[in-house]
C-alpha cells in the first residue's frame, strides 16, 4: 500500500456517508420550507462535516493506537497500531483536519451567525475527547449518544439553520433517521470489536450491554431510522418512498440475528454506509419534490 492509499484508508471512507447525509437532508428541507438554497453555505457545511468526520477517524486512530487498544484488532486499517504511520503524523493529520474545519466554520459563521463558532468549538472538543484526553467518553459507553447528537441532530438541524436562520420541528424530525444510522455505523464497529474491547477496559456501549443486547440495540437503531423517515410523511407523503429500502435493511438484520462476528461484520459497515446514503438521498429527494 503506497503512502497516499495509507492515508485514504486511515480516513475510513466507508464512514463518510455519516458526514454527507445530514447536510443533504438539512439542505433539502430548505426547499420544503419555501426557501432558496444557498449553495455556498451548503458547500461550506458539507466540507466542515466531511473534515470533522475524517478528523474524528484520525484522532481515534491516534488515541487508540497510543493506548494499545487497537493492537490485534480486525476491521479497517489502523495507521498507528499497524505501524503504517507514526503516532505523531496521525495526530498532526487529525489536527490539520480540525483546523481546516474550524477555518471553514468561521467563514460560515461570518456569513450566518457568530454563535456557530461556539457550536463548532463544542463539536471539535467532542470529536477529540471521544477517545482522546485523560477520560475519553467513548471508553465509558457514551459514543453512540454523541454520534446521534453531533452527526445527527447538530449536523442536520445545523445544515438547515445556515440556510433558513431558524430551527423547526421538521428539521429535528428528519435528523432522527440520519442520527440513528450514524449511530448504527458506530454500533456495528463496537459489536465487531466487543471481545477485544472487553479485554483492554474499553467499556463501549456494546461491552456494557453484552453481545445479545448490543445486537438488539443495533436492530432498534435501524427500526428507529426507518420509523422516523416514514413519520416524515407529516412533512410530505413522498417520504414514504424510503420504505423501498426496508428489504435491504432486513438483509442486514438477518446477518446480525444469525450471530455474525469479527470479520463477518466488516462488510456490514459498507452496507450500513450505503443504506444511510440511499435513505438520506431518497429522503432529500422527497423533500425537494
Q: How many Å is the Cα radius of gyration of the chain?
A: 18
For residue 1, pLDDT over 70 is answered with no
How confident is the model at residue 248, as a pLDDT? Answer: 94
Q: Supply 177's cell numbers.
A: 433517521
Residue 9 covered by a domain: no
Residue 6 covered by a domain: no
Residue 174 covered by a domain: yes
HEC sequence for 251-284: HHHHHHHCCCCHHHHHHHHHHHHHHHHHHHHHHH
How confident is the model at residue 2, as a pLDDT? Answer: 63
Summarised one tens digit per residue, pLDDT across range 117-154 is: 999 999 999 999 998 888 889 888 999 999 999 999 99
How confident is the model at residue 96, as a pLDDT? Answer: 97
Average the pLDDT over 274-284 and give the result: 94
Residue 10 covered by a domain: no
Residue 3 covered by a domain: no
Element (H, E) at 88: helix 87-111
Summarised one tens digit per residue, pLDDT across range 146-178 is: 999 999 999 999 999 998 888 999 999 999 999
Residue 1 covered by a domain: no
CA–CA separation, 108 and 91 (whole Å) = 26
Summarised one tens digit per residue, pLDDT across range 73-101 is: 666 678 888 888 899 999 999 999 999 99
What is the CATH number for 163? 1.10.600
Band (70; pLDDT cuts 50, 70, 90) = low
Summarised one tens digit per residue, pLDDT across range 255-267 is: 999 988 888 888 8
Nearest alpha carbon to residue 177 among 241, 118, 112: 241
Region of poorest pLDDT, from 237-241, 265-269, 271-275: 265-269
How confident is the model at residue 32, as a pLDDT? Answer: 81
Q: Which domain holds residue 231?
A: 15-288
CA–CA separation, 143 and 163 (whole Å) = 29
Residue 8 covered by a domain: no
Residue 78 covered by a domain: yes
Query: Between helices 155-164 and 17-32, what is the axis angle to 10°?
Result: 40
Do residues 44 and 38 make contact, with C-beta atoms less than 8 angstroms apart? Answer: no
Summarised one tens digit per residue, pLDDT across range 196-237 is: 888 777 889 999 999 999 999 999 999 999 999 999 999 999
How confident is the model at residue 72, as a pLDDT? Answer: 61
CA–CA separation, 215 and 223 (whole Å) = 12
Question: How many domains, in total, are found in the chain?
Answer: 1
Output the pTM of the full model.
0.92
How confident is the model at residue 260, as a pLDDT? Answer: 85
Nearest alpha carbon to residue 12 among 95, 94, 131: 94
How confident is the model at residue 137, as a pLDDT? Answer: 92
Amino acid at each position: 500500500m503506497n503512502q497516499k492509499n495509507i492515508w485514504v484508508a486511515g480516513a475510513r471512507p466507508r464512514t463518510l456517508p455519516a458526514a454527507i447525509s445530514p447536510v443533504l437532508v438539512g439542505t433539502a428541507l430548505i426547499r420544503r420550507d419555501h426557501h432558496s438554497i444557498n449553495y455556498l453555505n451548503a458547500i461550506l457545511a458539507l466540507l466542515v462535516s466531511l473534515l470533522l468526520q475524517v478528523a474524528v477517524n484520525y484522532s481515534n486512530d491516534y488515541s487508540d493506537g497510543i493506548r494499545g487498544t487497537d493492537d490485534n484488532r480486525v476491521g479497517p486499517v489502523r495507521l498507528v497500531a499497524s505501524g503504517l504511520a507514526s503516532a505523531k503524523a496521525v495526530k498532526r493529520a487529525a489536527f490539520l483536519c480540525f483546523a481546516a474545519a474550524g477555518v471553514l466554520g468561521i467563514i460560515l459563521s461570518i456569513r450566518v451567525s457568530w454563535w456557530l463558532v461556539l457550536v463548532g468549538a463544542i463539536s471539535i472538543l467532542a470529536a477529540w475527547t471521544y477517545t482522546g484526553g485523560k477520560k475519553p467518553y467513548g471508553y465509558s459507553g457514551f459514543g453512540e449518544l454523541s454520534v446521534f447528537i453531533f452527526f445527527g441532530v447538530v449536523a442536520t438541524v445545523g445544515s438547515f439553520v445556515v440556510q433558513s436562520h431558524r430551527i423547526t420541528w421538521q428539521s429535528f424530525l428528519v435528523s432522527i433517521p440520519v442520527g440513528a444510522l450514524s449511530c448504527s455505523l458506530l454500533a456495528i464497529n463496537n459489536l465487531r470489536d466487543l471481545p477485544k474491547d472487553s479485554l483492554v477496559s474499553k467499556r463501549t456501549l456494546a461491552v456494557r450491554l453484552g453481545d445479545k443486547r448490543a445486537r438488539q440495540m443495533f436492530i432498534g437503531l435501524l427500526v428507529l431510522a426507518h420509523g422516523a423517515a416514514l413519520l416524515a410523511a407529516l412533512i410530505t407523503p413522498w417520504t414514504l418512498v424510503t420504505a423501498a429500502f426496508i428489504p435491504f435493511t432486513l438483509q442486514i438484520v438477518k446477518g446480525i440475528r444469525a450471530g455474525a462476528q469479527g470479520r463477518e461484520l466488516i462488510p456490514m459497515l459498507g452496507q450500513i454506509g450505503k443504506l444511510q446514503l440511499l435513505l438520506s438521498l431518497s429522503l432529500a429527494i422527497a423533500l425537494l419534490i
